[in-house]
A and B are shown apart, each in its own frame.
Chain A
Amino acid sequence: MLAGIIIICVFVIAGILTGLNVVIPYSYSQYIAVAILACLDSVFGALSANMGKKFKLSIFLSGFVCNALIAIFLVYVGSRLNVDIYLAVVIVFTGRLLNNFTSIRRDFVQKFDEKEAKHKEQKSKLVKEKN
């Protein structure tokens, strides 16, 4: 687990460093922004799935790639048809992102509460035994 986190951190730092040296032309920035949203969505989805021990690498990876590609494609089609489809893409992905975040938070709070309850029980047991 620790090794995995270290590996991921190394990759993220490498990504930031390479990102600092990459210049995105202004005309492509819209596509990249939508792709970022799609990727963030699948990352958050993976996190929330991990909370429920339902994480699957294949689903994460396919979602990561396909979501981004479809989002970019939709934005492209929208710009061709003179419809702001990217707004719909942004709304959907942001909504899903927030949903995922909510479920992550809930799981976290629930686990915390359970631990707290166990702790209290143990304490009360100890007190009873002492008495």
Chain B
Amino acid sequence: MQNKSEENVTKEKNKKKSFDLDKVILFIKKYQIVSYVIIGFALFFLSMMLTAQLKSMSNSEEIIQGKRETQLADDLITLQRKYDDLKKQYDDSREVVEEYQNNSASNNTLISSMKEQINSLSLMAGTTDLKGEGIVIKLNDGASVTSGDTRSDTLVHDSDLLTVVNELKAAGAEAISINGQRIIATSAIRCVGPVIQVNYQKVAAPFEIKAIGNAQYLESAMTIKNGVVDMLKEYGVDISISRQTDIKIPRFEGTQTFENATVDDE
């Protein structure tokens, strides 16, 4: 009923605009078509979404996995490249600094004294390679449970390394390194999951702790009764100490920055 009245209204309107009657009829016929077209539009969107969804779902898993792997690989490669570049830069600038030191030291006494100072300071700071007599301690995870201890006690923990390093320092060690990581004033030894971090670098068993100092003192400090070695052996850790006359300890590889601390002159 409403439709008819609407038709009449449109007819009247069209008459006013002086259209032919045929055109009006055509328009009415088209009106139904218009409704179908609207439904068709809705179904168009529906079928579009459906097919797009089906299509993108059928191969999405491969895409995700592939993307993740390739992305991670890409990230790794770029980071490695970055690391290599930075390392190269670091070595270059280090060479420049050494050159300056060598050149400037040749004539001026003031500068030569400064150079001595730099040498002694860098010795203390751990920024130079060192060699000398000392001891090498080898620590490895124990294979079996010895005296009813739990399994994890036979592993070398960060605290074991800390104790050894502390004992070495107390015994007068001048330079210490763990698996090539120089121990300096700000070095931290800590447990990070299955590995141990020294200077924020991962190190894992077997551990080789090198210490330069009076070899006799160092060894006796380690092997003293109920000392570190005894304690670790009791835990089931493999530990061995050897005296050596020519130990080489590498310099500290990282960077040290003081962001919060400033020199107090007063």
Contacts and interface: CB of A to CB of B under 8 A. Distances in A.
Q: Do A and B bind each other?
A: yes
Contact of A7 (B37, B42, B50, B64): B37
Contacts of B38: 57, 61
Contact of B53 (A10, A24, A57, A60): A24
A32 B49 contact: yes
B57 A29 contact: yes
Interface residues of B, number: 27
A23 B47 CA distance: 14
B247 to A, nearest CB: 57
Interface in A78-112: none
B49 A7 contact: no
B49 A43 contact: no
Contacts of A46: 39
Interface string A1-41: 00110011011111110111011111001001101100110
Interface in B83-113: none
Contact of A18 (B33, B41, B48): B48
Q: Is the interface of A mostly helix, strand, loop or mixed?
A: helix
Interface string B7-39: 000000000000000000000000011011111
B55 interface: yes
Nearest to B57: A29
A35 B63 CA distance: 23
Contacts of B53: 24, 29, 32-33, 36
Contacts of A15: 43-48, 51
A4 B36 contact: yes
B56 interface: yes
Interface of B: 32-33, 35-53, 55-57, 60, 63-64
Given A3-B33, A57-B35, A60-B39, 8 more contacts: A7-B36, A10-B40, A11-B43, A15-B44, A16-B50, A36-B53, A39-B49, A43-B46
